[in-house]
Amino acid sequence: MMRYAVGSDLGGTNIATAVIDETGKVLGKAKLPTEADKGPEHVIANIMRSIDMALADASMKIEDMVGIGLGIPGLMDIEKGISLFAGNLGWKNVEVIKPFKERYGLPTFMDNDVRVATLAEWKYGAGKGVNNLICVTLGTGIGSGLVFEGKLLRGVTNSVGEIGHVTVEKDGLICNCGNQGCVEMYASGTGQARMARLMIQSGHFSIMTKMVGGDLSKINSKIIQDAYDEGDTVAIQVMNKTAMYLGIALADYINLVNPELVIIGGGVSLAGERLMKPLREEVYRRVMIVPRQIVKIVRSELGDESGMIGAAALAFERQGII
Amino acid sequence: MMRYAVGSDLGGTNIATAVIDETGKVLGKAKLPTEADKGPEHVIANIMRSIDMALADASMKIEDMVGIGLGIPGLMDIEKGISLFAGNLGWKNVEVIKPFKERYGLPTFMDNDVRVATLAEWKYGAGKGVNNLICVTLGTGIGSGLVFEGKLLRGVTNSVGEIGHVTVEKDGLICNCGNQGCVEMYASGTGQARMARLMIQSGHFSIMTKMVGGDLSKINSKIIQDAYDEGDTVAIQVMNKTAMYLGIALADYINLVNPELVIIGGGVSLAGERLMKPLREEVYRRVMIVPRQIVKIVRSELGDESGMIGAAALAFERQGII
């Protein structure tokens, strides 16, 4: 008999929730603003509201679910069900799982947002049937999930896959993590925008200045992609540098864990072949010959639905259903 | 009843062989020159001779063993038992396991030399009882083994752990692997010697020039360590750079796989605290706070015996005995 789960992807701006079946099919969904400024209790109430809405959308009841999954940002203790720290939510030591168990009386699980996205791509997306893969999310920050021999790895402190903090410029920009030259400082959405701003501020001409009406703080990955298509040299440079820096970090990662597949997702990856072509070139130039012969680099299939699908899938994975 | 195994660590210069019991105790050993210049058949005969000598040293017979293990350098197909390529032996597509099975009629296993050293340190050395660790060997090259959740990881093409080819200088020296700026180009024995030579050749005074009688090609890790103790500024610089480069690569590795322990072995590590102190500082400066809180960095306990002990232990591990 087919089993079902509901899961929410908690972002700094929005909550996305889905009801899925074991095959990853989305039967109902809902999207609500996070309203993080109103505090953790309000946010958790919003998640619950989105769960109720997604269930209604699927014409199903909570009793039809085998469990609830939550994908959340930041540092957490997944066993205790506590968010230790989430900068973009303003959360510190927030009890997350308990209120869901109390209200719904169902097994509830949480994990970091990038890891649940990996679970979705692995089980239902670009990684279906592949037992060894890396799934990288290029968003405001950069993170990844790692599947090895058919198992999603978490690590001793749930920190496996922190590719965003691989050093690519040993004397580079200082990162929030305390290190310098982290790939996240260059190849994330924030990093791309910074590189573009710095080039423009140092005197390079770019149509992006006009595109953002002179307010350079409005430059983002989408604008860089659009300017790229107009042949803007700053945008082209930024895209190639993004690929170069990400390529270094990915080649390191591949040399260390020997995957069959690398899946690239997140807003920055919407650049498509503008990014993927120079990225593949950089990785293949750097990675060792034997792991290089088997590794493929592809884009995410589930796009921005990977978070909510993966959150729901977490309730399957943690109960040994998938 | 206690079980026993015999294993050989095949190096470019020497073959080291040990008979061990399940607890890792060395009951007999032998050392012979490899004589790689005489061809693969001769080398394999030498390994067999060393096995016979180690058995005699232990006053045991081959029938007392549960299997034979071989730690070999280079690229290999461990299932087919073939050495695909080993530069320092001059080997290409050499049938390794078959002659041992034919002569001894025992289960025979091979794996790369760094991975078997990791097995030894994990089961019988500095990593005893630890389920998540990295063991790095700093020799002519740099390699590592990775234990995750109590399992020695190998990977799809047996390439897990190639830390030597993590990029630490994106525009750095060209490496044999085709990449540039690999940590192996700086922090291996060869890399250290190169850094020292380049500094001296560019005009820096060093007592090492006298120590090698003016022949700078004779500089090696041991000489750098001795010069360091005399306060030689070139040697001190080289040691600190070794620690810095290795620290970058290790911080990357820790951020990606979240281990409890990092074990450092190999000839370069004989520098002890001269290397370990600045290495720990560099790693702790760069690695993320959560994985940093649990990871310890220590030196190998088994030293240059880890290769032969690990080779023998491979016969236990592959048969599920340890």
A 242-301: CB under 8 A from B: 244, 248-249, 251-253, 255-260, 285-291, 293-294
Q: What is the pLDDT of residues B24-45, one digit of tens each?
A: 999 999 999 999 999 999 999 9
Looking at residue A261, its pLDDT comes to 98
| pLDDT mean over A293-304 | 97
* A24 vs A306: CA distance, rounded Å: 10
B215 inside domain? yes
C-alpha distances in Å from residue A222, one per residue of A13, A197, A219, A277? 17, 14, 8, 18
What ipTM was predicted for this assembly?
0.96
In this predicted structure, the answer to whether residue B110 has a pLDDT above a threshold of 90 is yes
* B163 vs A125: CA distance, rounded Å: 30
**Which chain A residue has its CA at the smallest distance from B283's CA?**
A179
B 52-91: CB under 8 A from A: 75
Contact A258 B179 (CB under 8 A): no
How far B78 CA lies from chain A's nearest CA (Å)? 14
CA angle (B266 as vertex; B264, B267 as ends), nearest 5: 125
* B286 vs B181: CA distance, rounded Å: 18
Give the containing element (helix H, strand E) for B296. strand B296-299
C-alpha distances in Å from residue A92, one per residue of A37, A143, A178, A302, B269? 13, 20, 19, 30, 41
* B234 vs B124: CA distance, rounded Å: 37
Same domain, A312 and A295: no
Which residues contact residue A310 at a Cβ distance below 8 angstroms, ignoring those fewer than 6 apart? A7, A9, A69, A71, A115, A116, A117, A118, A119, A120, A121
Q: What is the pLDDT of residues B217-260, one digit of tens each?
A: 999 999 999 999 999 999 999 999 999 999 999 999 999 999 99
Same domain, A279 and A140: yes
- Chosen from A77, A151, A171, A290 to mutate, greatest number of chain B CBs within 10 A: A290
Among B259, B251, B252, B256, smallest CA distance to B284 is for B251
Q: How distant is the alpha carbon of residue B199 from its chain centre?
A: 27
Strand order in the sheet with B65-72: B26-33, B14-21, B4-10, B65-72, B108-112
* A181 vs A174: CA distance, rounded Å: 6
* A96 vs B70: CA distance, rounded Å: 51
Collapsing DSSP to helix, strand or coil, A16 comes out as: strand
- Give residue A180's region: left, alpha or beta (phi > 0; psi -120 to 50): beta
Looking at residue A88, its pLDDT comes to 84
Same domain, A240 and A271: yes
Q: How many Cβ atoms sit within 10 Å of the Cβ of residue A198?
A: 14
Same domain, B276 and B179: yes
Instruction: Please answer whether residues B167 and A252 qualify as being in contact, where contact means their C-beta atoms are separated by less than 8 angstroms.
Output: yes
Looking at residue B84, its pLDDT comes to 94
B53 inside domain? yes
Q: Is B178 on the interface with A (CB under 8 A)?
A: yes
Q: Is A129 on the interface with B (CB under 8 A)?
A: no
- Using pLDDT thresholds of 50, 70 and 90, give the confidence band for residue A60: very high
Q: Is A187 on the interface with B (CB under 8 A)?
A: no
Instruction: Please answer whether residues B87 and B94 qualify as being in contact, where contact means their C-beta atoms are separated by less than 8 angstroms.
Output: no
Strand order in the sheet with A142-148: A151-152, A142-148, A133-138, A261-265, A296-299
- DSSP assignment string, B189-203: HHHHHHHHHHHHHTT
Instruction: Please answer whether residues B119 and B161 qualify as being in contact, where contact means their C-beta atoms are separated by less than 8 angstroms.
Output: no
- DSSP assignment string, A162-216: -GGG-BSSTT-PBPTTS-BSBTHHHHSHHHHHHHHHHHHHTT---THHHHTTT-G
B51 inside domain? yes
A253 inside domain? yes
B 135-154: CB under 8 A from A: 146, 148-149, 153
- Chosen from B170, B173, B296 to mutate, greatest number of chain A CBs within 10 A: B170
Q: What is the pLDDT of residues A220-271, one digit of tens each?
A: 999 999 999 999 999 999 999 999 999 999 999 999 999 999 999 999 999 9
Q: What is the pLDDT of residues B178-211, one digit of tens each?
A: 999 999 999 999 999 999 999 999 999 999 999 9
How far B233 CA lies from chain A's nearest CA (Å)? 23
Collapsing DSSP to helix, strand or coil, B133 comes out as: strand
Same domain, A116 and A162: no
* A89 vs A96: CA distance, rounded Å: 13
Same domain, A279 and A310: no
Residue type, A64: D
* B108 vs A285: CA distance, rounded Å: 36
Domain count within chain B = 2
How far B148 CA lies from chain A's nearest CA (Å)? 8
A37 inside domain? yes
A 190-249: CB under 8 A from B: 244, 248-249
Looking at residue B88, its pLDDT comes to 84
State what percent of residues in chain A have pLDDT above 70.
100
* A318 vs B1: CA distance, rounded Å: 39
Contact B293 A157 (CB under 8 A): yes
| pLDDT mean over A17-21 | 98
Q: How distant is the alpha carbon of residue A291 from its chain centre?
A: 25
Using a CB-CB cut-off of 8 Å, the residues of chain A touching B166 are 252, 255-256
Which of B165, B248, B293 is opposite residue A170, by nearest beta carbon? B248
Same domain, A134 and A266: yes
Instruction: Please answer whether residues B95 and B81 qualify as being in contact, where contact means their C-beta atoms are separated by less than 8 angstroms.
Output: yes
B119 inside domain? no
B82-86 and B91-95 strand pairing? antiparallel
Looking at residue B100, its pLDDT comes to 98
In this predicted structure, the answer to whether residue A134 has a pLDDT above a threshold of 90 is yes
Q: What is the pLDDT of residues A65-85, one digit of tens each?
A: 999 999 999 989 999 999 999
- Chosen from B256, B260, B281 to mutate, greatest number of chain A CBs within 10 A: B256
Sign of the C-alpha dihedral, residues A138, A139, A144, A145? negative
| pLDDT mean over A177-199 | 97
How far B100 CA lies from chain A's nearest CA (Å)? 27
- Give residue B95's region: left, alpha or beta (phi > 0; psi -120 to 50): beta
Same domain, B296 and B309: no
Same domain, A187 and A295: yes
Same domain, B140 and B261: yes
CA angle (A127 as vertex; A126, A133 as ends), nearest 5: 130
How far B29 CA lies from chain A's nearest CA (Å)? 33
Contact A156 B288 (CB under 8 A): no
Collapsing DSSP to helix, strand or coil, B239 comes out as: helix
Hey, what's the torsion of the CAs at B238, A255, A156, B279, to 10 degrees? 0
* A51 vs A55: CA distance, rounded Å: 6
B278 inside domain? yes
What is the CATH number for B259?
Answer: 3.30.420.40
Q: Which two tokens stand for residue A35?
A: 């309203």
| pLDDT mean over A126-138 | 98
Q: Which two tokens stand for residue A74?
A: 């930041």
Boundaries of domain holding B246: 126-300
Sign of the C-alpha dihedral, residues A68, A307, A48, A52? negative
Same domain, A143 and A253: yes
In this predicted structure, the answer to whether residue B87 has a pLDDT above a threshold of 90 is no
Using a CB-CB cut-off of 8 Å, the residues of chain A touching B242 are none
Same domain, A111 and A157: no
A312 inside domain? yes
Residue type, A216: L
- Using pLDDT thresholds of 50, 70 and 90, give the confidence band for residue A87: confident
How far B320 CA lies from chain A's nearest CA (Å)? 18
